[in-house]
Structures are given as structure tokens and as C-alpha cells.
Amino acid sequence: MKLVHKVMDFEVNRADEDNRTFWAVASSPTVDRQGDLVEPDGWDFANFLRNPVIPWAHDYASPPVARALAVKVENGRLLFKAQFPTAEEYAFADTIYRLYKGGYLRAFSVGFAPLESEVATHRVSGRALTGTRYLRQELYEISCVTLPANPEALVALGLPAASTPSPEQTPGAPPVAAMNPGAARAVVSAALGQAVVERLRFHLGLVD
């Protein structure tokens, strides 16, 4: 069965530092760039709860960076509670957690198998988009990702979208909001690139 990946419009509640958890709440259905829409009331996550992994960027060959402690649909919204390992348990996962806290990562993506769907045309910003309306779908996994399929698929840790990390979170660096767009993109790219490099070095045995 074909596995579909879709970034949904999530808002993340303030993190619980002691338990390294936060709730991510999907908003009402939104048409994405492909003209697709996922109905929140159609989710089947019974099998997902048996192995509630949260990978990095749908990478199924590497260890997950978090797990879902709970998943539910409430008032037409998909909700899940994510928990991340400590730095001692998994340094790369800790990096991802801190990137969410700092606002450098702001999106999640769901991997699912369609159970029932139909072709549908939606009007978005005055133009017609024809895509798929997913009526029933089985949730396989939820991934941390960088680039959303939905332009509104961003998250904030209980803070306004324009909020930036404090100087303590990014020593010696100017706030992202104070940078020009090119510089801001470079900061994010560097942070993510370094995280990936460090993970590769670890797996290749190049770190002590």
C-alpha cells in the first residue's frame, strides 16, 4: 500500500522541560500546495500506538528522534504528545528538540496509508486546485521535518510566530528576526547541517 507523506498545520504547546514533552495540535483541515486535504476525523492510529515513533524527516533507517506518548482526535483536530530523549540518550534527538524550542524547526509531517479518498477541487487564494481529499487514512508515523508541503504548516512553542531564541540560547548570535532573510536562512541551514554532520560522524565512528 502506498505511503503518503503530508505536512499538516500544527501548533505546539509550551514544552515541559522536566519531561521533555509538548503537545502538537493540528488545526482545522487546510488545502496544501498539491491541492490535497486530509480530514482529521478520518484518522486510524490504532496500529501507530503500538510503535509510536517520531523519526527525523521520514528516515526509517535511523533511530527515531522522539516518541508519541498519546494521539487523539478532538474537536476535528489531530493531537499528539511528543517526548524527546535526553542528550545523554541520543545527542542528535536532543539537537532536534532544541531546534524546535529555538524556533529553527517549526513543522511536522505525517506518514499515512490512504483507506478512502476522492478527487476534489478546492479554491485557494482565488485559484482552483485539484487534488485528493483523504476521507479515511491509517497513521504510520509522524516526522520532524524542515520544509512543509502546506505553506501554513508551522509551529510555535506557545509563543508568537515571530518570536526568536533568547541570547542564552544562541550565544554571540543576533536574533533571527534582526537578520535579513538570507542570513536567517543561513543560520537555520547551518544549525541543521551541523546536526546532520554530527550524526553521520557518530554513526561512522569518527567521534570519541
For every residue of 45-58, DSSP letters joined together read -TTGGGS-EE-BTT
Q: Is residue 163 part of a domain?
A: no
Angle at 81 between CA 80 and CA 83, to 5 degrees: 140
Calculated CA dihedral for residues 158, 26, 52, 131, nearest 10 degrees:
-140
Domain contains 162: no
Q: Give a yes or no: residue 43 inside a domain.
A: yes
Residue in this structure with the C-alpha cell 526568536, named with its chain if needed: 164
192 and 152 inside one domain: no
Does pLDDT of 61 surpass 50?
A: yes
pTM: 0.68
Asked if residue 60 and residue 125 are part of one domain, the reply reads yes
Contacts of 106 (CB under 8 A, 6+ apart): 100, 154, 155, 156
Assess if residue 191 is contained within a domain: yes
Question: Are 88 and 126 within one domain?
Answer: yes
175 and 113, same domain (yes or no): no
Q: Which of 183 and 119 is assigned the larger pLDDT? A: 119
- In this prediction, residue 24 carries a pLDDT of 86
For residue 29, is pLDDT > 60? yes
Domain count of the fold of the chain: 2
In tens, the pLDDT along 74-102 reads 888 889 999 999 999 999 999 999 988 88
114-162, pLDDT tens digit by residue? 999 999 998 877 888 899 999 999 999 999 998 654 454 445 344 333 3
Identify whether residues 53 and 106 lie together within a single domain: yes
Final residue before a domain boundary, out of 131, 157, 183: 157
18 and 94 fall within a common domain: yes
Amino acid identity of 43? W
Report yes or no on 174 lying in a domain: yes
Does residue 144 sit in the same domain as residue 178?
A: no
Specify the pLDDT at position 30. 78
Higher pLDDT: 167 or 193? It is: 193
Q: Is residue 19 part of a domain?
A: yes
Per the structure block, which three cell numbers stand in for 57?
524527516
Mean of the per-residue pLDDT values for the chain? 76
Residues 110 and 40 in one domain: yes
**Which residue segment(s) compose the domain that 190 sits in?**
168-208
Q: Label the pairing between strands 43-44 and 127-145.
A: parallel
Do 112 and 173 fall into the same domain? no
Q: What pLDDT score was predicted for residue 11?
A: 79
Whether residues 174 and 127 share a domain: the answer is: no
Give dist(CA 85, CA 90) in Å, integer.
6
Q: What percent of the chain has pLDDT over 90?
A: 41
Kind plus residue range of the DSSP H or E element containing 203: helix 181-203
Q: What is the pLDDT of residue 18?
A: 94
Mean pLDDT throughout 107-115? Answer: 91
